[in-house]
């Protein structure tokens, strides 16, 4: 599934991602890091899904990670199908509900209710470098969670700084997918 995350982040970094149906394309990122899979993050994710919990854990129980959680109410899929469904659902929040063009995360993001983009913003947060996910089949549904680090969704901070692609990457660290290493 790392190829899906890399594709999403790469498309966003290049300014190729729809930000709201009919409202245009999200601007390119001056810096966005490539995420690496992290076994510690996966361990926290596994703790969440192993009990078939359908609500996020409290922040103090996440080991410094931020969490996305998705419940798929069907058993007519595979574990891979469940995580693909979760990733696409979280990422599509941007296209479905939109976000301001300057990519600033304001406190009002928490009040958007069903129109929230807080799952997308954790996936997209420029400084996230580590991710770990877990999936659990729970009888009549699947629970998927991913843990991100450092996490994102910091108020009065940018999901990413808008600018020329890779403009603010450390020297010679922009890879072929336009993500900083």
Domain boundary assignment for the chain: 37-158
Asked whether the predicted pLDDT for residue 77 surpasses 60, the reply is: yes
Name the CATH code of domain 37-158 (choices 3.40.33.10, 2.40.50.200, 2.60.40.10, 3.30.420.10): 3.40.33.10
Asked whether the predicted pLDDT for residue 74 surpasses 70, the reply is: yes
Mean pLDDT of 47-65: 93
Helix ranges (H only) for 14-78 are: 39-49
Asked whether the predicted pLDDT for residue 155 surpasses 90, the reply is: yes
Across the chain, the runs of DSSP E, i.e. the strands, are 36-37, 66-72, 104-105, 130-137, 142-149, 157-158
Return the pLDDT at 2: 60
Q: Average pLDDT, whole number, for the chain?
A: 93
Tell me the pLDDT band of 18, cut-offs 50, 70 and 90: confident
Return the pLDDT at 25: 84
Tell me the pLDDT band of 174, cut-offs 50, 70 and 90: very high
Q: What is the pLDDT of residues 88-107, one digit of tens each?
A: 999 999 999 999 989 999 99
Residue 181 neighbours by CB distance under 10 Å: 12
Taking each continuous run of H as one helix and of E as one strand, the counts in the chain are: 5, 6
Tell me the pLDDT band of 143, cut-offs 50, 70 and 90: very high
Return the pLDDT at 94: 94
- Comparing 2 with 40, the larger pLDDT belongs to 40
Return the pLDDT at 106: 96
How far, in Å, CA of 23 to CA of 44, rounded?
A: 37
pTM for this entry: 0.93
Residue 88 neighbours by CB distance under 10 Å: 12
């Amino acid at each position: 599934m790392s190829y899906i995350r890399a594709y999403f982040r790469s498309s966003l970094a290049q300014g190729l991602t729809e930000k709201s149906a009919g409202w245009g394309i999200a601007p390119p990122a001056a810096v966005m890091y490539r995420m690496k899979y992290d076994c510690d993050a996966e361990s926290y994710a596994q703790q969440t899904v192993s009990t078939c919990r359908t609500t996020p854990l409290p922040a103090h129980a996440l080991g410094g990670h931020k969490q996305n959680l998705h419940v798929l109410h069907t058993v007519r899929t595979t574990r891979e199908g469940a995580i693909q469904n979760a990733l696409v659902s979280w990422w599509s929040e941007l296209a479905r509900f939109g976000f301001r063009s300057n990519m600033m995360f304001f406190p009002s993001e928490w009040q958007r209710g069903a129109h929230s983009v807080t799952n997308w913003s954790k996936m997209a947060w420029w400084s996230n470098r580590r991710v770990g996910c877990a999936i659990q089949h729970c009888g009549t549904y699947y629970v998927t969670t991913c843990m991100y680090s450092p996490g994102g969704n910091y108020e009065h901070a940018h999901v990413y700084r808008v600018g020329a692609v890779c403009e603010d990457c450390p020297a010679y660290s922009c890879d072929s997918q336009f993500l900083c290493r």
